[in-house]
Every structure is written in C-alpha cells, then in structure tokens.
Amino acid sequence: MDHSHLTIEQLEDWKNLKGNFTATPNYIDLIIGIWNVISWYYKPHMWRDYSFPHSFIEDFTRHFYFPVNEVYYIVYIAIFITLLRYLFENFICKPFVNWIDLKTVDKKKFPESAWKCLFYTCTWSYCVYLLHYRYSFFREPHLIWDDWLPGMAVPFDIKLMYFVQCGFYLHSVYATLYMDYKRKDFYVMLLHHVVTMTLIFVSYATRYHKIGLIVLFVHDITDIWLELTKFLHYLGSRQNGREYPMWETAASGCFIVFTFCWCLFRLYWYPMKVLYTTGVTTAYRAYDKGCGLYGFFNGLLWILLGLNIYWLFFILQFLFRVCSGTLNNLHDVREDEDDVDGTI
C-alpha cells in the first residue's frame, strides 16, 4: 500500500519498533507500552519535516471526512433532545414533584437527574447491544484496526449512536449554561462536555468510531447510577419535614454500585480497553495503514482520564468523611454541599 505522507525512513523505523502489544494488558503493560511507543513516535527524525500548525492541519484534513449534511443532523438531534427534555421535565417531572411535595431546591434538581438517568439508560443499553451482540470490539479491541481505512463506511447502527450522542453533548453544553442546576464543578462539567463532544465528532470524521463506541460504553454506565442515586436521595425528604429513610437507604445502595462501576469501567476498563488500544496497539497494527493524529486523540483521551481521576477525589473524600465519622449519613453531605452533590 502506498503511503505518500509517510517517508521511507519513517516506515523502516516503524518496522524496527521495539516491544509488542498484548491482547490482555494490565497497568504495567500500559505504562511500558506507552513509554516504548512515545520513545519511538517522538524521535527527532520522525518530526524532521513537521511544522506546526501547517503539518497538523494537513494531517487533520487528510483524515477528516464529515459531510455538511451530517452536521445538520447532529444540530437537529440536539434541538430535538432539548425540546424532549423540556417536555419531560415540565409535563411529567414537575407535576410529580409537586404532587409528592418535595423540598423547593429538590424540585429543581429532581427533573434534571430523572432526565439524565432515562437518557443514559437508553443509550447505554443500545451500546451494550452493539458491543456484545453486534460487534466484538470490546472483547477484542486489538482487532479494531484490521479493516480501518480513511473515509471508510460507518454502519448505520453505529452512526445512529454517534449522532445521538454528539447531539446530546451539544445539547449538554447549552443545558449546563441555561437548564441544569448550578454546582461547584460547573466549569469542569463544561470542559467535560466540550472534550467529549470533540472526541465523538472528530473520532467519527476520522473513522475511529469503533474505539469511540467503547469510550461511550465505559462512561455512560456510571452516569446512570449517579443520577439514580441523586433523585432517590431527593425523594427521601419532603417540604412538610417528613423523612422517608427507605429512599435514603436505596440511594446509599446505588452510591455503592456507582463507586464500584466508576472504578471498574472508568479506571480499569477505560485504560485497558481504550488507552492501551489507542496508545499502544495502534502503533503496531495501524501505523502502516496511515492512521494519524496519534498525539491529538491520545491527548484528549488522557484528559478524559484526568477528569475521571479528578471526580474520584470527591468520591473518596466523601467515603473518608463517612468512614471517619465526620458525617452522620449519606443524606447530610449531599443535602448541604453542592460540590459533592454534583459529583456523586
């Protein structure tokens, strides 16, 4: 295959890339593999003719394929999701919270959590179907690159998932600014939505949609339990001062499941299935096919990991305060502190 954008020296150096990849990596494999690939990829002669930003733009446009009419679909979906959320919150959630007489502040928070829980449950369930019944990307991520080609056709079922998710995060930027309850991690959430939307949009355009599907799978599950924990907590107390311990107990159970899913999906499977595949496997199985934008994509993905670790700090802080006895129960911390309420 002719790769006019790769020099003979670069291809020869790729053949001499030390080490190898494994289909069942661990954290040590990730660290060693990333070090070996970066040591090879950023050798001075590999960048001899590189000039930023001209070379980056040239590399980006070479791989980028996103027809304008498809961008319109995403905008339409974002508008539709915004309208759907407005109808759901105003005609289903608000009458419900008024009927059960929630506290005033919880009446504002409950519709948001209920909507997000419903949306993430639907999208994650569809993602499970794609990854476990339609495709084998999650079980064998090293095979993702076997049929990769620039501008390759994207199956309709994956395209549908991508457009809905990209539309949702475009909506989420607007919702964070104008619809959501304001919390202390406001700017971090904005950054999260922008980074996620950029990853979804660009990974589709450059046909890295298979790895993008795994990214969505390992992140959406925790959002389901997060929002379920929150709105069960809101049901635990009412405007008239009455308390309902069973809802708080259910919320505590959901929080435990949420913490487990956070560690398993975002801090184990995300590095092993995504970061290892894009950071290590791609160098051995896709470089000769012309896969580019290595630093750009991996940079965004590692920022996402950084955000996951940032939010883990709040989760562990909460657990420590409960275990040390400085908090009486789950209800106290989430009712009194918005920073934790926005995290768990």
Residues 127-144 have pLDDT tens digits of 999 999 999 889 998 888
Distance CA 123, CA 164 (A): 8
pLDDT number for residue 49: 72
Q: Is residue 337 part of a domain?
A: no
Query: What does the pLDDT read at residue 156?
Result: 94
Q: Which domain holds residue 230?
A: 19-43+52-330
Query: By the 8 A CB rule, do 224 and 121 touch?
Result: yes
192 located within any domain: yes
Tell me the residue length of the chain: 344
Confidence of residue 234 (pLDDT cuts 50, 70, 90): confident
Whether 9 maps to a domain, the answer reads no
Greatest mean pLDDT among 56-65, 264-273, 319-328 lies in 264-273
**Structural contact between residues 193 and 169, judged by C-beta atoms closer than 8 angstroms:** yes
- Averaged pLDDT for residues 185-194: 77
Higher pLDDT, 272 or 296: 272
158-167, 172-181, 239-248 — most confident range = 158-167
Q: Are 233 and 248 in contact (CB under 8 A)?
A: yes
Give the pLDDT confidence of 90-110 residue by residue, as tens digits: 999 999 998 988 888 888 889
The whole-number pLDDT of residue 342 equals: 40
| Predicted confidence (pLDDT) at residue 76 exceeds the cutoff of 80 | yes
For residue 12, being part of any structural domain is answered with: no
At 243, the pLDDT band (50, 70, 90 cuts) reads: confident
**Predicted pLDDT at 340:** 41
What pLDDT does 283 receive?
Answer: 83
- Residue 14, pLDDT above cutoff 90: no
How do residues 249-278 score in pLDDT, each as one tens digit?
Answer: 888 888 889 989 999 999 999 999 999 999
Phi, psi of 58 (to 5 degrees): -65, -45
User: Total domain count for the chain?
Assistant: 1
* Predicted pLDDT of residue 323: 63
In this structure, what are the phi and psi dihedrals at residue 237, rounded to the nearest 5 degrees?
-145, 150
Phi-psi region of 325 (alpha: psi -120 to 50; beta: other; left: phi over 0): left
Closest C-alpha among 21, 77, 59 to residue 295: 59
pLDDT of residue 126: 96
Residue 99 falls within a domain, yes or no? yes
- Classify residue 151: in a domain, yes or no: yes
With respect to residue 8, please indicate whether it lies within any of the assigned structural domains.
no
- Does the residue 118 lie in any domain? yes
